[in-house]
Amino acid sequence: MTTTTPTVAVGTQQTDGPKTTAGRVRKRLNSRTATLVSIVIAVVWTIPTFGLFISSLRPEDEIKTTGWWTAFTKPQFTLENYQQVLFGRSSSSGQLASYFINSLAITIPSVLFPLAFASLAAYALAWINFRGRDWAYIAIFALQIVPLQMALVPLLKFFSTGVTVAGVTLMPAWDLVDEQKFAQVWFAHTCFALPFAVYLLHNFISQLPGDLMEAARVDGAGHPKIFRTIVLPLITPALAAIGIFQFLWVWNDLLVALIFAGGGDETAPLTVRLAEMAGTRGNEWQRLTAGAFVSIVVPLIVFLSLQRYFVRGLLAGSVKG
C-alpha cells in the first residue's frame, strides 16, 4: 500500500513552523479556522440523515404538517412508525420485517461464495505455475470493466429457459419459484463480484513472501495444504476488507435484486421494497423515513465497527491500481 510510514512526519511539522509571533498566531488561527470549517461542513453533511432519523421517530400527523426541526421546540416522539413499517397488518404498511429477512438471505451467501472462489483463483494465479497463467489473469482483470448491464438480459434468459445449443439441452431452465429465487440472486452477485475480488486478492496473495511457500513445499505440503494453512490465515485482513465491500454492495444493491429476485415479499430485499414505496407512496413520510432507516441501520453498524478494514480495502483497491 502507498500509505505507510510518513504519516507521522507530516503531523509533527507544524510545531516547529514559523519563527515570528505573528506567524505563530496566524498558524494557530489557520488551524483553528480549518477545524471550525471542517466541522461545520461535516455537520451540514450529516443534517439530511439526521433529519430523516428524527422524523422517523415523530408521530404521523406531526411529520406531515411540520418540519422535523420543530421537534426540538415541542418534542413528541414515538416508535409507532417502526412498529407499523416492520410488522404492520395492511399491505400498504411496508411489512419490512419480511424484506429484511430477504436482504439477509440474499446477502450472506452472496458474500461467502465470491470470497471463497476468488481466493482459490487468486492463489492459483499467484503461486501455481501453469501455462497461460498471465493470460488468465489479464482476462479476469479486464472483465472488471464490463458493466453488469451487459449481462442482465441474457443471464435472465439463461435462468428462465436454460441453455440449448443446436437442439441439445446443456442446462435445463432453473424454473425457480418464491424463495428459491434467492439462488438466482446469489449466482448473479457472485459472478459480478468475482473479477474485482480476484484482482484485489491477487494483489495481496502475490505479495506474500515466496520463502514461506518454498519452505512448506520442501516439507512436503501440496498446494491445497499451503492454501489452507499458510495463505488463508495471512490474507484474513484482505478477506475482511473485501467481505465488507461485498456486503455493503449486495445489501445496498437495487438493480440486480430487481431483475433476479422479483418484487414480491418472498424474495425482494429492502431496497426493492423501499424504492417501490418511494414511488407509489411518496407522501407517506412516516413509513418512508422509518423504512429508510431500517435499511440503513445494518450497513451503518457494519461500516462503523469495521471502518478500518473498509478504508484499507478501499485504498488497496484504488490507489494501488
Q: How is residue 18 annotated by DSSP?
A: -
Residue 33 CB, nearest approach to another protein (Å): 9
14 neighbors 31 (Cβ within 8 angstroms): yes
DSSP calls for 220-271? T--HHHHIIIIIHHHTHHHHHHHHHHHHHHHHH--HHHHHHT-SSTTT--HH
Residue 29 CB, nearest approach to another protein (Å): 11
Closer residue to another protein in complex, CB, 135/209: 135
Closer residue to another protein in complex, CB, 209/321: 321
User: Any bridge partners for residue 165, and if so which?
Assistant: 168
316 neighbors 201 (Cβ within 8 angstroms): no
* Rounded CA separation 259/153 (Å): 9
Closer residue to another protein in complex, CB, 233/321: 321
Residue 275 CB, nearest approach to another protein (Å): 5
Closer residue to another protein in complex, CB, 140/239: 140
Residue 145 CB, nearest approach to another protein (Å): 5
Residue 235 CB, nearest approach to another protein (Å): 14
Closer residue to another protein in complex, CB, 50/215: 50
176 neighbors 159 (Cβ within 8 angstroms): yes
User: Any bridge partners for residue 169, and if so which?
Assistant: 164
Residue whose grid cell is 458493466? 147
Residue 121 CB, nearest approach to another protein (Å): 4
DSSP calls for 43-81? HHHHHHHHHHHHHHTS-HHHHHHS-GGGGGTS----SHH
Closer residue to another protein in complex, CB, 209/319: 319
